[in-house]
Amino acid sequence: MIKRRASRPVQIGDVTVGGAADVVVQSMTKTDTRDVKSTVAQIDQLAEHGCGIARLAVPDMEAAEALVDIKGKSSLPIIADIHFDYRLALHAMESGVDGLRLNPGNIRDPEHIKKVVQVAKEREVPIRVGVNAGSLPPLAEGEARGSHVERMVDAAMGKIQLLESLDFELIKVSVKAFDVLDTIDANKALAERIPYPIHLGITEAGTPRKGTIRSATGIGILLYEGIGDTIRVSLTGDTVEEVLTGYEILKSLNLSNRGPTLVSCPTCGRTEVDLVPLVNAVEERLAKMEKSIKVAVMGCVVNGPGEAKDADVGLACGRGRGVIFKKGEKILTVEEKDFLEALMAEVEAF
Ligand code: SF4
C-alpha cells in the first residue's frame, strides 16, 4: 500500500487535484486550438477514455479567443498552457478556463505575473508553475551554474515564492525533464519543500514504446514514493494513448481500478492459436469500458487457467477450441471462430 504525500487540494473545474483525491490522469490536446470543432472532438475522445482534465496550448491571441467557445462545449475542465505572453493568460481566464499553466522560464516579469495573479485570485483559477528542463530561466549575471536538478527546483521555488508573496496559494507545481533521474530527484526535493499538489510527467518522452517506458519508470517511481497528485504521460503519438498509458501506470501501483485490466500470456511453444491479433482485438474492445474487471487471454488450455487464476473472466485457447473460465473455474467451451465474441459476452455480463 502506497502512503501518499499530503498536499493541499486545488479545484480544476469539478476535478480535485491533491488532498485525498485520487491521482488524476490528464492529457493535452494535439489539435490546433484555433480549430474549435476538432479540439472539442478530441476533448470528448479524451473524456470517453477517462481523462480528467484537458490542457490546451494557447500559442496566440486567436487561440486564446477560441477558448470561450471550446470551454462552452467542453466535456472536461480546461487548463490553458501559456508561454511567453502573459496577456494570453489574462484572455484565457476571461474565457472561463479552469486552470493555467505558466512556464517560469519564459514568463518572468514580476509585474506581468502580478497582473495574472490578480485575475486568477478574483476568478479562483489555480496556476501550475510548470518548469521544463529545456526552458529554464537564464542565469543571472555572476550566478553559479548549479546542476540541472538544482536549477529546476530553484526555478519552481522562485515562482512559488513570488505567487505566495502575492497572497496566492491556488498552486500546483511540476518539474519535468527528459532525464528520468533528474525528474525524480527534482520532484523529491520539491515535495519536501512545498504543500502544493504535484503534477508528474517526463517531458518529450518520445514515441509510444520509449515514452511509455520512460514515463512508467519516472512517474511510477515517484508515485511509489507517495509523490504525485496528477500525471500526464507525454507521447509522440495519439493523445488517447497517453491517457490509457497513464491509467496502466496507476493500475500497476494499485492507485486506480478504473476500467478493465487485461492479462495476456507472452505465448510460447505450447501456443496453438494466433494469439496476438486476438489479444489486440480484446484490448481494443476493452479500451472504452469503465468497469473494473480483470480479463485474461491465454495461449493454451494446459497452463492458461492456472496462470490467470486471479482473472474475473478468462479465455484459454486450444487448437480449434478454447475454454472460458470465471474466477479460474471452467464455465464454457467455445469454437475458435467464436473466441472474441464469446469472451466479450462474458465480460459484458460479468
Ligand atoms: S499460457 Fe500456455 S501458451 Fe501462454 S505462455 Fe503459458 S504455457 Fe505458453
Rounded to whole angstroms, how far apart are CA atoms 257 and 247? 9
Handedness of CA 51, 52, 55, 56 (dihedral sign): positive
Closest residue by Cα to atom 5, ligand 1, is: 267
Domain spans in the chain, listed from the N-terminal domain onward: 10-252, 261-349
- Decide if pLDDT at 185 tops 90: yes
Rounded to whole angstroms, how far apart are CA atoms 96 and 23? 24
Question: What is the Å distance from ligand 1's center to 13 Cα?
Answer: 47
Quick check: CB of 298 below 6 Å from ligand 1?
A: yes
What mean pLDDT is predicted for residues 104-109?
A: 83
pLDDT of res. 308: 77
Quick check: CB of 299 below 6 Å from ligand 1?
A: yes
Question: What is the Å distance from ligand 1's center to 283 Cα?
Answer: 18
Q: Binning pLDDT at 50, 70 and 90, where does residue 209 land?
A: very high
The CATH number assigned to the domain with range 261-349 reads 3.30.413.10
Counting from 1 in the atom list of ligand 1, the atom nearest the Cα of 269 is 8
Question: What is the Å distance from ligand 1's center to 170 Cα?
Answer: 51
Q: What is the pLDDT of residues 61-85, one digit of tens each?
A: 999 999 999 999 999 999 999 998 9
Domain over 10-252 is classified CATH 3.20.20.20: yes
- Decide if pLDDT at 232 tops 80: yes
CB 216 within 8 A of CB 239: no
What mean pLDDT is predicted for residues 193-219?
A: 95
Q: CA torsion 62→66→68→71, rounded to 10°?
A: -140
Q: How far is CA 1 from CA 22, 242, 244, 310, in A?
A: 14, 25, 22, 19
pLDDT above 90 as % of the chain: 86
Residue with cell 505575473: 113
Closest residue by Cα to atom 1, ligand 1, is: 304
pLDDT of res. 147: 86
What mean pLDDT is predicted for residues 24-41?
A: 98
pLDDT of res. 148: 87
What mean pLDDT is predicted for residues 259-264?
A: 93
* Residues 6 or more apart whose Cβ sits within 8 Å of residue 54: 26, 27, 28, 29, 42, 43, 46, 47, 74, 76, 77, 78, 79
Q: How far is CA 180 from CA 176, 220, 291, in A?
A: 9, 11, 32
Answer yes or no: same fold for 10-252 and 261-349: no
What are the φ and ψ backbone dihedral angles of 91, each rounded to 5 degrees? -65, -40
Quick check: CB of 279 below 6 Å from ligand 1?
A: no
Q: Binning pLDDT at 50, 70 and 90, where does residue 267 land?
A: very high
What mean pLDDT is predicted for residues 329-340?
A: 94
Give the per-residue SS3 of the chain.
CCCCCCCCCEEECCEEECCCCCCEEEEECCCCCCCHHHHHHHHHHHHHCCCCEEEEECCCHHHHHHHHHHHHHCCCCEEEEECCCHHHHHHHHHCCCCEEEECCCCCCCHHHHHHHHHHHHHHCCCEEEEEEHHHCCCCCCCCCCCCHHHHHHHHHHHHHHHHHHCCCCCEEEEEECCCHHHHHHHHHHHHHHCCCCEEECCCCCCCHHHHHHHHHHHHHHHHHCCCCCEEECCCCCCHHHHHHHHHHHHHHCCCCCCCCEEEECCCCCCCCCCHHHHHHHHHHHHCCCCCCCEEEEECCCCCHHHHCCCCCEEEEECCCEEEEEECCEEEEEEEHHHHHHHHHHHHHHC
Mean pLDDT of the chain: 94
Counting from 1 in the atom list of ligand 1, the atom nearest the Cα of 265 is 4
Rounded to whole angstroms, how far apart are CA atoms 102 and 128? 6
pLDDT of res. 304: 81
Q: Which three cell numbers stand for residue 343?
A: 469472451
Higher pLDDT, 176 or 307: 176
The span from the first CA to the last CA of the chain, in angstroms, equals 27
